[in-house]
Structure 1
Amino acid sequence: MIVEQRLYTYHPGNLDAFVALYRKEGMAAQMRHLPALLGYYVSEIGALNQTVTQWGYRSLQQRMDCREALFADPDWKAFLAQARPLMLAQECRILKPAPFFRERLAHLIDDARGLDLSGQP
């Protein structure tokens, strides 16, 4: 199991625009193709104008397969065309769990698959 941590930095003043755009146009495509959203955060203290996301995968191969499908999705391509101009930088890390955290991560990945992020009660 692995966690992909992605850090995006936006031009000052563009974070709120990105978050709104992502919720409206990007999230559904990612949720269709990526197996387990473990976290989606915005910076509050320290470096500002950033989002940090964490996605769980069973393997690097699963990550490659899922991302290939995502980047073939016309909805995702359309979202990226609007989102990229808002961005200043991006980073990606692949993290593997410490031995004592593997079982917990497996449960988090399983639980995240059914996550409803629509905001509807």
Structure 2
Amino acid sequence: MILEERCYTLSPQNVRPFLSFYENEGLPMLLKHLGDLKGFFTTETGELNQVVHLWGFADLADREQRRAQLWSDPMWLAYADKVLPLILRMQTRLLRPTAFSPMR
């Protein structure tokens, strides 16, 4: 298993609209295509106005296939056109659990 950690930095006035769009429009499509949402968070300390989400995948090939399906969905493309302008910066990290990690 691998985890994908995505962190989006938004301007303060865009956090609420982004979360609303995400919950009501984006999340159903993401669950359909990506499937395994491990968690979704907002930052309370450190750099503020960030949303962080974690997705689980069987391996890199599984991630690549699922994300390709997502980006071939016309509804996702329309959603992305709406929310991408709200995001100032996007960061992605792929994480591999250790042998002793409780999440594997």
* TM-score, normalising length: structure 1: 0.82
The amino acid of 2:103's aligned partner reads: L
Shift of 1:12: 2.4
d(CA) in 2 for partners of 1:73, 1:31: 13
**Does 2:74 correspond to 1:89?**
no
Q: Corresponding residue for 2:23?
A: 23
Residue segments in structure 2 that go unaligned for 5+ positions in a row: none
d(CA) in 2 for partners of 1:44, 1:20: 18
d(CA) in 2 for partners of 1:58, 1:5: 15
Residue correspondences, number: 104
CA contact (8 A) 1:3 1:95 kept: yes
d(CA) in 1 for partners of 2:44, 2:38: 19
d(CA) in 1 for partners of 2:79, 2:103: 29
Higher relative contact order (Cα pairs below 8 Å, separated by 6+ residues): 2
Structure 1 runs (4+) deviating above 2 angstroms are none
d(CA) in 1 for partners of 2:103, 2:48: 28
Q: Corresponding residue for 1:3?
A: 3
Amino-acid identity (%): 38
User: Pairwise CA RMSD of aligned residues?
Assistant: 1.0
**Does 2:51 correspond to 1:51?**
yes
d(CA) in 1 for partners of 2:47, 2:81: 25
The answer to which structure has the higher strand fraction is 2
